[in-house]
Amino acid sequence: MTKTALGSHPFLLGFEQLERLVERTAKSGNDGYPPYNIEQSGERNYRITLAVAGFSETDLSITVEDRQLVIRGRQAEEDGERFFLHRGIAARQFQRSFVLADGVEVKGASMENGLLHVDLEHAAPDTVVQTIQINRN
């Protein structure tokens, strides 16, 4: 018995990119920081919420690169004048990536009580009916 790749199945014509997308998603595994939620806020609306306590709006960047939503956080270096007896709050940078489907757009982002909210909308696909003429040979 031979194993066929997903993109090479005869009924999935033109879906070779799907296999590459699955591989890219698997490679973007993160270490779990910062924690996040993904919720459906409407029929075609979604919200990603990241717990970014200690970060300000200027410490965060949100970009869409090749259908991939990338959220980065980097806090400014401390001046070294503070002396910690115990340091339990990590001030580390992070990068969290989410692969977006075709038609999903980022509608906006907001910060509230240490939570970063990124709102997404999945546009309704256009229904296309095409009639193909049969030619005689």
Return the percentage of the chain with pLDDT > 90, whole number. 48
Per the CB < 8 A criterion, the answer to whether 35 and 51 are in contact is yes
104-137 CB burial, b ≥16 within 10 A, e <16: beeeeeeeeeeebbbbbbbeeeeeeeeeeeeeee
Q: What is the mean pLDDT of residues 105-133?
A: 93
**The model scores a pTM over 0.75:** no
| CATH for the stretch 32-78+88-122 | 2.60.40.790
Regarding predicted confidence, which is higher, 20 or 95? Answer: 95
Task: Give which of 26, 19, 23, 20 is closest to 4, Cα–Cα.
Answer: 19
Angle at 106 between CA 100 and CA 104, to 5 degrees: 40
In whole angstroms, what is the distance from residue 137 CA to residue 131 CA?
19
Eight-class DSSP state of 101: P
Per the CB < 8 A criterion, the answer to whether 38 and 46 are in contact is yes
pLDDT digits (tens, 9 = 90+) for 21-66: 666 666 655 568 899 999 999 999 999 999 998 899 999 999 999 8
